Amino acid sequence: MKIGPRYKIAKRLGPGVFEKTQTQKFQLSAERRARNSRGKRPKQLSDFGRQLIEKQKVRFTYGITEGQLSRYVSTASAKRGTETIAELHRTLERRLDNVVNRLGLAVTRRLARQMVSHGHITVNGKRVNIPSYQVSEGDVIGVRKGSHESPLFKMGAERIGQHVPPSWLALDAGKLEGKVTGMPVYSLGDGNLDYASVMEFYSR
């Protein structure tokens, strides 16, 4: 997925969409812009504009294409009531590249996507090179034996050992593998993503 200038995008969508913009430098820059804009009337967004921004936040946060997000929303929409939002969240979180990142095997989702695409990651002992692959409860996600000596993992061994994954994942840092012990659960207020607005955008 081609993204473009991350700092420019993050100024519009917020620092949470990229790991590299979640820094003190970016925060100081944002505070400086806020001071310089004091006294100016903030631009009023239409409902469509707000929904568009929330949709783009989800896309860039997970590094997915417009087509992929549209399909995920369509699948989630088959659920009833509030379950639609929970289903969308589960689908995004269960992507293999996201799980590799959540386990701490990669510091960013972008790097995790590259690891998967280049064949470094296995699911239940079998190599999987599809970043969008949906993991299931009980799956074991690991680093291929032949990749253990790669600088990607050797240099990050200490960081991986200190990483604490979310409650639905279990990490064995020594083996460079993790297990899906449950399913991601969505709670209102989790993160900075407004899934309801995304669903509204695609329901137009």
Q: pLDDT at residue 103 above 90?
A: yes
Q: What confidence score (pLDDT) does residue 157 get?
A: 87
Q: pLDDT at residue 73 above 90?
A: yes
**How many other CB atoms sit within 10 Å of the CB of residue 154?**
10
**In this structure, what is the dihedral angle of CA atoms 104, 181, 58, 85, given to the nearest 10 degrees?**
-160
Distance CA 85, CA 73 (A): 9
Distance CA 109, CA 98 (A): 6
Q: How confident is the model at residue 192 (pLDDT cuts 50, 70, 90)?
A: confident
Bridge partner residues of 93 (DSSP)? none
Q: What confidence score (pLDDT) does residue 24 get?
A: 56
pLDDT digit string, tens, across residues 47-59: 899 999 999 999 9
Are the C-beta atoms of 143 and 176 separated by less than 8 Å? yes
Residue type (1 letter), 164: V
Helix-helix angle 195-202:83-93, to 10 degrees: 100
Which H helix or E strand runs over 102? helix 96-102
pTM of the model: 0.79
Task: Give whichever of 34-38, 41-45, 153-157, 196-200 has the largest mean pLDDT.
Answer: 196-200
Domains of the chain in sequence order: 6-35+44-92 (no CATH), 96-180 (3.10.290.10)
pLDDT digit string, tens, across residues 132-165: 999 999 999 999 999 999 988 888 889 999 999 9
